[in-house]
Amino acid sequence: MIIAFVTRVVRVLVPLAARTADNMNRNLMARCARQSYLIAQRATGNRRHQRRASDVRGH
């Protein structure tokens, strides 16, 4: 009786845990991708700013 109950509980919790782990992994990967995108954009903006500053100075 107890074993049947525990088995039922485990069968419910395992898919929930797997789904939660998948969601967490997706969120982590998305956050990392977004962060790398922001770094690339910041580098591009810095280069653009340096180019404009050198044009203004006449270099």
pLDDT for residue 15 is more than 90: yes
Q: What confidence tens digit (pLDDT) does each residue in 32-55 have?
A: 555 556 666 667 766 766 666 666
* Mean pLDDT for the chain overall: 76
Domain extent, residue 28, equals 23-53
Query: For residue 47, is it within any domain?
Result: yes
**For residues 6-33, average pLDDT:** 84
Phi, psi torsion values for 58, nearest 5 degrees: 85, 25
Query: For residue 28, is it within any domain?
Result: yes
Query: For residue 58, is it within any domain?
Result: no
- Compute the distance between CA of residue 55 and CA of residue 39 in angstroms, rounded to an integer: 24
- Compute the distance between CA of residue 51 and CA of residue 44 in angstroms, rounded to an integer: 11
Query: For residue 40, is it within any domain?
Result: yes
Counting the structural domains of the chain, the total is 1
Query: For residue 9, is it within any domain?
Result: no
The pTM for the full model equals 0.41
Query: For residue 43, is it within any domain?
Result: yes
pLDDT at 24: 83
pLDDT at 9: 95
Query: For residue 1, is it within any domain?
Result: no
